[in-house]
């Protein structure tokens, strides 16, 4: 007898070692990213009615070669090198196949981090189509108490496009930063529970630069968006997700979103779902906002989000232009500027939803990369996803 539990034998560490102070660190994230609800309070959204799904192998595609900056490697080799946990590929709406790492059972939910922002923006688009949400309105129309904060003179459009002139840095690894305080307010870090997420957001001040000029990737904007859609609709984010997206989409599995001490959803990064259901969201966007024969989000909103909207100039002034030199950012979605018309959502630690309209391909990639941000690997992933789109 080795004395190890089945958990320790599978993961190489004990469950008791996964705590709020370690859950985003390797190797613990290989388990915690699939089980966030055991660590952070979460609201749950039920699956649509239907039967269980079965995994489908990618077969020979895994042995196909991809040319990357460092040389050629197989699809499967790259999936392992990029710490992929789960992958689903669709072609013209049909399932090509799935891939799962040994530590991620097929059908398991996985945190999608900042892809949550893009999902929340879909709710905003749906409410806009219903006439109850105005992107051109000032934030204070929906949240009067934002008056004394950076959002006091910002528009909802600034929030949607990350052009709020926000005095805040995404310092993921600095335990003494305002970002660490932000995470405590979401109950993601030890020491939370004394300040709510809403209270933290209302404390952030602005920079001198006018809103609307520069793309600044600041996660608090997307938590503000969650509060905005709640105020506009009178419903909680979890209720909106169920009624407006998850049930109409035909999602096969439950999803969840972490919440703070007051039940405010972490719409900037707290959602968990399966790769299959994430791919369904991408396919809905590829189809111009429709799924299962009916419309979920207005076609004009989808077109603006993934093709025509957004400021190239604001994007160029930001710090992520290296990833998509001809890109734009609109409604929490990235337009790559590639000839294929590809668009995507991205989350830290290697979460990707990539849609290639020309190839009619959707790829959902969930990962547990050790570092929150790895720019060199991101460059490889973009090349990989483009190449994969041409293989299927």
| Residues annotated as catalytic (active site), given as ranges | 114
The count of other CB atoms within 10 Å of the CB of residue 13 is 15
DSSP strand pairing (255-258 vs 42-45) = antiparallel
- How far, in Å, CA of 22 to CA of 32, rounded? 9
Helix then strand then coil, in percent of the chain rounded to 5, is: 40, 20, 45
- How far, in Å, CA of 26 to CA of 167, rounded? 30
Long-range interactions of 8-15: CB distance < 8 A, separation 24+: 10/102, 10/103, 11/103
SS3 204: coil
Longest distance between any two alpha carbons in the chain, whole Å: 66
DSSP β-bridge partners for residue 256: 44, 272
Taking each helix axis from N to C terminus, what angle separates 275-286 and 115-129, rounded to the nearest 10 degrees?
Answer: 40
Rounded to 5°, the CA angle 232-234-239 comes to 110
Phi/psi of residue 226, nearest 5 degrees: -60, -40
Phi/psi of residue 90, nearest 5 degrees: -115, 145
- How far, in Å, CA of 35 to CA of 103, rounded? 12
Q: Which residue's structure tokens are 């890109």?
A: 327
Q: Are 105 and 256 in contact (CB under 8 A)?
A: no
């Amino acid at each position: 007898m080795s004395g190890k539990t089945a958990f320790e034998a599978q993961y190489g560490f004990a469950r008791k070692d996964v705590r709020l102070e370690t859950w985003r660190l390797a190797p613990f994230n290989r388990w915690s990213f699939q089980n966030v609800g055991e660590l952070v309070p979460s609201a749950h959204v039920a699956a649509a009615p239907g039967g269980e799904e079965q995994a489908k192998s990618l077969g020979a595609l895994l042995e196909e070669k991809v040319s990357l900056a460092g040389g050629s490697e197989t699809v499967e080799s790259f999936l392992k090198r990029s710490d992929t946990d789960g992958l689903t590929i669709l072609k013209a709406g049909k399932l090509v196949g799935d891939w799962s790492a040994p530590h991620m059972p097929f059908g398991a939910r996985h945190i999608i981090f900042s892809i949550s922002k893009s999902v929340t923006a879909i709710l905003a688009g749906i409410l806009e189509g219903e006439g109850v949400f105005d992107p051109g309105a000032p934030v204070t129309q929906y949240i009067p108490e934002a008056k004394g904060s950076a959002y006091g003179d910002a528009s909802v459009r600034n929030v949607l496009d990350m052009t709020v002139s926000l005095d805040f840095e995404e310092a993921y690894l600095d335990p003494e930063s305002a970002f660490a305080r932000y995470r405590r307010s979401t109950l993601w870090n030890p020491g939370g529970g004394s300040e709510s997420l809403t209270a933290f957001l209302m404390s952030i001040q602005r920079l001198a630069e006018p809103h609307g000029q520069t793309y600044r990737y600041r996660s608090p904007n997307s938590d503000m968006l969650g509060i905005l859609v709640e105020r506009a609709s009178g419903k909680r984010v979890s209720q909106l997700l169920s009624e407006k997206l998850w049930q109409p989409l035909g999602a096969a599995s439950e999803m969840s979103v972490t919440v703070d001490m007051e039940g405010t959803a972490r719409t900037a990064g707290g959602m968990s779902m399966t790769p299959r259901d994430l791919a369904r969201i991408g396919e809905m966007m590829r189809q111009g906002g429709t799924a299962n024969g009916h419309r979920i989000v207005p076609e004009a909103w989808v077109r603006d989000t993934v093709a025509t909207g957004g400021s190239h100039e604001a994007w160029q002034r930001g710090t992520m232009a290296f990833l998509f030199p001809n890109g734009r950012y609109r409604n929490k979605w990235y337009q790559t500027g590639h000839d294929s018309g590809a668009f995507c959502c991205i989350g830290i630690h290697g979460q990707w939803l990539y849609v290639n309209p020309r190839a009619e391909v959707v790829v959902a990639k969930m990962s547990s990369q050790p570092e929150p941000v790895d720019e060199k690997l991101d460059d490889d992933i973009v090349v990989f996803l483009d190449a994969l789109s041409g293989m299927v």
